[in-house]
């Protein structure tokens, strides 16, 4: 019987559970809002119920390889506990893994959500066939994941790959992590909105000022990006800052790891046209490893067009920085991939 796996993407706003076969075909997906306010036990109950539903539906045709769960936060791999998870209040220092395994009576793999997204893009997305890659997710926060030799880099206790908290401004904006000037404070959706408001407060908001007072349109990274596309200099400047911060961070990780590919996903990556030119400029200026391994290309500036998502990535030994292609499903596929990978290596 062929294998299938269940992948869970536990977000601060959405809980999504999928059944995926060993080839990466989605068999079924269940989406619910994560009712975080109803508490941890409620959310875990909802999750385990959905997992059981999918398992009983497909277990006559397939054998279950296992369950993988992507969670937003730092996971201590040794204890199966969440150490930091601002979007899941009350889940810190709670034995999440044991609790879920007890309810399901089957082994579960818990993974940081950005690591899961890295696995997903590596399996079915921009990084197909790439052995060594980094993933940066630009969402409410900035997440990161590193894959070396096809496996997620966990470090000593599962906390490696926190690329969002690399310092890009030594005396910069305070971050929730306790540091100041993390790239998350300049390249997340939250940061885009904050930087736009800062410009407005300084009287340099341009069209963004009108946008902020328009009750019909949400003042969001997306609507600010739309202004940048229309050529508003103030909005363009916000994304210049995003690109600069990302470029500084990317230069550091490229120098440190010399990976083949770096995939940038998450909602803010949709603003690629607005931040990528500055990002590439900074990376090239600041990373000797990048300068030595990446001749400037047109694709560099335009990233994964719709066409690229169907092309295999270039195979020559070049550093490639590109857009993710799986969108918000990357983490869901990646979570499902984890038990399948374990099965392959077992």
- Contact footprint for Zn ion (CB under 5 A): 165, 175, 177, 179, 182
Angle (CA) 26 15 28, round 5°: 20
Encoded tokens for 37 = 């306010």
| DSSP character at residue 217 | S
C-alpha distance across the termini of the chain, in Å: 17
| DSSP character at residue 262 | E
Between CA 270 and CA 100 the distance in angstroms is 34
Q: Which is nearer to Zn ion, 191 or 200 (CB)?
A: 191
Q: Where are the alpha helices (DSSP H) in 230-271?
A: 233-257
Shortest CB 302 distance to Zn ion, Å: 30
Q: 264 near 254, Cβ under 8 Å?
A: no
Shortest CB 133 distance to Zn ion, Å: 23
Reduced to 3 states (helix: H, G, I; strand: E, B; else coil), residue 203 is coil
Shortest CB 260 distance to Zn ion, Å: 27
Q: How many CB atoms lie within 10 A of CB 36?
A: 19
Q: Which is nearer to Zn ion, 126 or 182 (CB)?
A: 182
Q: Which is nearer to Zn ion, 185 or 223 (CB)?
A: 185
Shortest CB 115 distance to Zn ion, Å: 17
Shortest CB 252 distance to Zn ion, Å: 14
Q: Which is nearer to Zn ion, 185 or 287 (CB)?
A: 185
Please list, in sequence order, all residues whose beta carbon lies within 8 angstroms of the beta carbon of residue 148, skipping any fewer than 6 positions away.
131, 132, 257, 259
Between CA 335 and CA 54 the distance in angstroms is 15
Shortest CB 179 distance to Zn ion, Å: 5
Between CA 189 and CA 296 the distance in angstroms is 28
Q: Which is nearer to Zn ion, 107 or 174 (CB)?
A: 174
Residue 70 parent element (H or E):
strand 63-71
Q: Which is nearer to Zn ion, 143 or 158 (CB)?
A: 143
Please list, in sequence order, all residues whose beta carbon lies within 8 angstroms of the beta carbon of residue 253, skipping any fewer than 6 positions away.
134, 146, 163, 166, 259, 262
Q: Which is nearer to Zn ion, 131 or 179 (CB)?
A: 179
């Amino acid at each position: 019987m062929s294998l299938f796996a269940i992948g869970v993407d536990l977000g601060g706003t959405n809980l999504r559970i999928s059944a995926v076969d060993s080839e990466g075909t989605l068999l079924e997906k269940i989406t619910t809002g994560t009712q975080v306010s109803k508490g941890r036990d409620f959310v875990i109950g909802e999750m385990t119920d959905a997992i059981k539903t999918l398992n009983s539906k497909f277990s006559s045709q397939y054998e279950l390889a296992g369950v993988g769960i992507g969670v937003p936060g730092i996971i201590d791999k040794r204890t199966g506990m969440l150490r930091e998870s601002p979007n899941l209040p009350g889940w810190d220092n709670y034995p999440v893994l044991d609790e879920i395994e007890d309810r399901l009576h089957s082994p579960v793999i818990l993974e940081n959500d950005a690591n899961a997204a890295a696995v997903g893009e590596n399996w079915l997305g921009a990084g197909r066939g790439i052995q060594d890659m980094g993933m940066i997710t630009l969402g409410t926060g900035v997440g990161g994941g590193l894959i070396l030799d096809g496996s997620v880099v966990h470090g000593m206790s599962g906390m490696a790959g926190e690329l969002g908290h690399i310092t890009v401004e030594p005396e910069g904006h305070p971050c929730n992590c306790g540091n100041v000037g993390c790239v998350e404070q300049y390249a997340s959706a939250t940061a885009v909105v904050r930087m736009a408001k800062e410009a407005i407060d300084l009287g340099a908001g341009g069209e963004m000022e009108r946008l902020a007072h328009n009750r019909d349109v949400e003042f969001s990274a997306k609507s600010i990006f739309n202004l940048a596309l229309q050529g508003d200099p103030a909005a363009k400047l916000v994304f210049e800052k995003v690109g600069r911060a990302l470029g500084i961070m990317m230069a550091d990780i490229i120098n440190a790891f010399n990976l083949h590919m770096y995939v940038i996903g998450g909602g803010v990556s949709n603003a690629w046209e607005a931040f990528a030119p500055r990002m590439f400029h900074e990376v090239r200026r600041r990373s000797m490893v990048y300068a030595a391994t990446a001749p400037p290309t047109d694709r560099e500036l335009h990233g994964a067009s719709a066409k690229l998502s169907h092309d295999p990535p270039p195979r020559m030994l070049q550093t490639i920085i590109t857009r993710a292609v799986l969108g918000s499903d990357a983490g869901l596929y990646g979570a499902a991939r984890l038990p399948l990978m374990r099965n392959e290596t077992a």
